[in-house]
Structure 1
Amino acid sequence: MPYQQHTAKKMARPTGNVRWMVVGLCFLGMVINYIDRANLGVALPGMAHDLSLTPFEQGLALSAFFYAYAAFQFFGGGLADKFGPRAMYTFSSLWWGALTAATAFASSMLSLFGVRFLLGAGEAGAYPSCATAVGRWFPKHERALATAIYDNGSRVGGALSLPLVILIVETMGWRESFIITGILGLLFAVLWIKFYRDPRLHPTLNAEELTYIEQGGARPIDPATEEKISWLSLFKFRAVWGLMLGSFSLNFIAYFFITWMPSYLINELHFSLVKVGFVGMLPPLTAVFGGLFGGWLGDHLVRRGVSLSVARKIVICIGMLAGSSIALAVFVPSGAWAMALLCLSYSGIAFCASNSGSLCLDIAPTGRHVAAIMGIQNGSANLAGIIMPVVVGLLVGNENNFSHALMLIGVFGFIGAFSFIVIVGKIAPLTRAKRVKVADAGANNEITH
């Protein structure tokens, strides 16, 4: 069916809630995904001692995941569109579970780099699968909140990884922490493939909820009405490049919290490992509420009649500017104030991500392009995962001084705000007709040469 533009004001909420169960499972998958991903950052102090890793080598180990993750995002999005979220999320979770467990057998910098690289390749299908599932199951006035819910899995997973991994490391060892958390990914694959179906194929979805989903602007697959736009043609749109730069900037801040934050708390703020296990949970947990509030606010503005562009950009701009507050941690007099700023920064990023993460649904030309654009967006975002850990490792150096690193990270809040607000332009589905029209007019939605 063609992309619907119905408003939420004219639609009563249905009695069914299967769509929220779907996004709840997406959330659970992302929790496990990020426990597995963040495991290394938590276990790294002990691993660095056993494997004799320098700060620079630690940065390389942290970034190895993102070399494959960023590259495979670009292709994983297209695969999620082609094979659907049921097959793609199942395959991805099986892969990342097995590779997380394999990390336990790393014995050198080279083997650790290799297994983390392969782990990144396996996890690349997770976010595009969630985005495609939300696109097929949610009307446009519920997208931001649904996006915030599954995206919050990253914060909850990051928060849970601290006490969980520290407990396992302290009682068993860092190798056992990877085996135990890897098993979680394998169990999730079984749960997902048993429950998930697209709306028209789901056995428990009633007709009322299906109508609500489709008439509200969900992005189903409909070859009869879809405009043919190739994957490469997506790069002709200025909005896509704005998403890429904005998402890179957002993740340049966000990935500090799941890579270098434990080392920052231990080496700069002089917290004990046990204290890090509890205090380190505060930024990701406060970010959960920031993400939910940002998702609710974005959808609330749309339901109140605010245009999609204005609603999304209000939330995105506030969130990115709040994210830049991490730089102020350099100037505060105590660890308590630094923690407060870390909480504000991470909450701001989550507040922004609830709406920036739904942009792939808002601008996708058709339902077949949702995961492709998410893959492009998230692939660009995770280039920050390659660059940021190494840059921070170089700036921190052997003296473990994080001042210059935190100030650099804060700058990216302003770069991201500019990218999402100015470069992306009007938020609306991209079309060939718009490309031609925009190119002729020299306006905002396509790059002209």
Structure 2
Amino acid sequence: MKAANKFGVLALIFISVVINYMDRTNISVAANAISQDLSLTPVQMGIIFSAFAWTYSIMQIPGGMIVDVVKVRILYPFILVAWSLATIVQGLVSSLAAMVGCRMAIGLFEAPSYPANNKIVTQWFSQRERASAIAVYTSGQFIGLAFLMPVLALIQEWFGWRGLFIVSGVIGIVWAAIWYWLYREPESDIGNAATQQRDQKSSVNVSESSVALSWGNIRLAFSSRKLWGIYIGQFCLGSTLIFFLTWFPTYLAEYRGMGDLKTGLLASVPFLAAFGGVLLSGFTSDWLVRRGFSNEFARKSPVILGLFLSGSVIGANYVDSIATVTFFLSLAFFGNGLASINWVFVSLIAPKQMVGLVGGCFNFIGGLSAVTIPVAIGFLVQDGDFRPALALIGALALLGLCAYVFLVGKIEQIPMQSPNENSDLGVAKSLV
């Protein structure tokens, strides 16, 4: 049975996101065992955690351009197989350099995945449905990991950390074959006239978002106060996320003294909270827009509230019971989920013909949090005390809140520069 309707397509994206994040974060489940087996310091583990983001961030704009020219049905299975093979190799190496190389390879091949997800949703869903669709597939990174954390911990218990990577990689390769078998481009299988009309309208939206990749546009993308507001917000939001995706299980195992299996079970609770947050935010935001509320309220309020709640991670520094620690961490990650619809601001604020370029800059700067934060935490926790690390994450969340309040300001689209201001370097294909 082919995925010829938008809900089937959304299910394919959701599962792909789950597998995507499984291969990003299985390193966090295995981190304690790897550091002991390979005699790695916290700083070295921080380098391994951040290596994924080195290539992932750099390849955001090129990855989006690849998505423009290669059909998703071909591209997605290819990158799935490629990053899954790198995951398997990760389970076979025994040196810091090789481990870093594998993480960089995974980041390289995962880079086009979210631009591809965005392209698929743009083709299959109308504008009023997109925040909800984005919320659904974004929730895959939370709900998938919530249930996978205990499973991954159990796999490691049975097969060791090397077996964990090998099993994860095999799952990705199998899913690549399933994706190719089920997915069809919208124009291939959709016969319903109304749906065809919707897709034609979506393709017009995509063409309107094309961008002249010129020095003038690049200057505009990096000189607007409003855009820097959402860039900083994305970096701060990503800092909370990357803590949970990398150091969080180590925090539970080493600082709170839990075993690997118990760590896997407790680690799932904040991910469930984040799952609830992102779905609540996405569906509520779209509902408010349909009811006629302004973007100031419908889009911005969940992000500001979410970043405020993310700052509550600091509360875990002042309590001792596991239940209370879990409460503060879950509340912080719930807030992170609430704020995860912030991608919608790219289309609301960016100049009409620069959505792709601004989206690439937005995700690139957000990705820098995954480059810097794991290493920074590695330095901060060298003496075994995680309190400075949690203080850093909480402070960055509040900085992101300030960026949305004081830099972004009113939600309105930035006008394009005039042709005279924006004529250098020629035209290239854009991101979607």
Please say whether Structure 1 and Structure 2 have the same fold, judged by a TM-score greater than 0.5: yes
CA contact (8 A) 1:101 1:183 kept: yes
Code of the residue aligned with 2:377 in structure 1: it is V
SS in 1 for 2:139: helix
Q: Say if 2:420 is the partner of 1:420.
A: no
Provide the residue aligned with 2:289 in structure 1.
302
In the TM superposition, 1:44-443 aligns within 5 A as: 44-199=31-186, 201-212=187-198, 220-222=205-207, 228-230=211-213, 233-237=217-221, 238=224, 239-353=226-340, 355-363=341-349, 365=351, 371-398=356-383, 400-427=384-411, 431-432=415-416
CA contact (8 A) 1:66 1:120 kept: yes
Q: Residue 271 and residue 386 in structure 1: after superposition, are their counterparts in 2 closer, same or farther (change >3 A)?
A: same
Q: Residue 229 and residue 91 in structure 1: after superposition, are their counterparts in 2 closer, same or farther (change >3 A)?
A: same
SS in 2 for 1:107: coil
CA contact (8 A) 1:287 1:346 kept: yes
Mapped to 1, the partners of 2:161 and 2:347 lie a distance apart of 39
Which deviates more, 343-352 or 164-173? 164-173
Q: Percent identity?
A: 32
CA contact (8 A) 1:34 1:158 kept: yes
Mapped to 2, the partners of 1:33 and 1:69 lie a distance apart of 12
Deviation of the 1:268 alpha carbon: 1.7
Which deviates more, 16-25 or 306-315? 16-25
Q: Residue 231 and residue 22 in structure 1: after superposition, are their counterparts in 2 closer, same or farther (change >3 A)?
A: farther
Q: TM-score, normalization: structure 2?
A: 0.88
Q: TM-score, normalization: structure 1?
A: 0.85
Code of the residue aligned with 2:194 in structure 1: it is E
Mapped to 2, the partners of 1:188 and 1:369 lie a distance apart of 34
1:111-157 superposed Cα distances (whole Å, 9 cap, x missing partner): 11111111111111111111121122222221111111111121133
1:13-69 superposed Cα distances (whole Å, 9 cap, x missing partner): xxx992222222111101001111111110111111111111111111111111111
CA contact (8 A) 1:324 1:345 kept: yes
Q: Residue 128 and residue 196 in structure 1: after superposition, are their counterparts in 2 closer, same or farther (change >3 A)?
A: same
Mapped to 2, the partners of 1:137 and 1:218 lie a distance apart of 10
1:232-260 superposed Cα distances (whole Å, 9 cap, x missing partner): 51551424333321111101111111101
RMSD: 2.6
Code of the residue aligned with 1:191 in structure 2: it is I
The number of residues matched between the two structures is 415
SS in 2 for 1:255: helix
Deviation of the 1:434 alpha carbon: 8.2
Deviation of the 1:107 alpha carbon: 0.7
SS in 2 for 1:382: helix
Q: Residue 228 and residue 320 in structure 1: after superposition, are their counterparts in 2 closer, same or farther (change >3 A)?
A: closer
Q: Residue 102 and residue 423 in structure 1: after superposition, are their counterparts in 2 closer, same or farther (change >3 A)?
A: same
Q: Residue 175 and residue 185 in structure 1: after superposition, are their counterparts in 2 closer, same or farther (change >3 A)?
A: same
Which runs of 5 or more structure 2 residues have no equivalent in the other structure?
Answer: 422-432
Mapped to 1, the partners of 2:419 and 2:392 lie a distance apart of 36
Mapped to 2, the partners of 1:227 and 1:76 lie a distance apart of 15
Q: Residue 408 and residue 90 in structure 1: after superposition, are their counterparts in 2 closer, same or farther (change >3 A)?
A: same
Q: Residue 78 and residue 422 in structure 1: after superposition, are their counterparts in 2 closer, same or farther (change >3 A)?
A: farther
Mapped to 2, the partners of 1:219 and 1:156 lie a distance apart of 33
Q: Residue 43 and residue 319 in structure 1: after superposition, are their counterparts in 2 closer, same or farther (change >3 A)?
A: same
Q: Say if 2:12 is the partner of 1:25.
A: yes
Mapped to 2, the partners of 1:427 and 1:84 lie a distance apart of 33
Code of the residue aligned with 1:230 in structure 2: it is L
Which deviates more, 282-291 or 308-317? 308-317
Mapped to 2, the partners of 1:219 and 1:381 lie a distance apart of 28
Which deviates more, 130-139 or 98-107? 130-139
Code of the residue aligned with 2:344 in structure 1: it is S
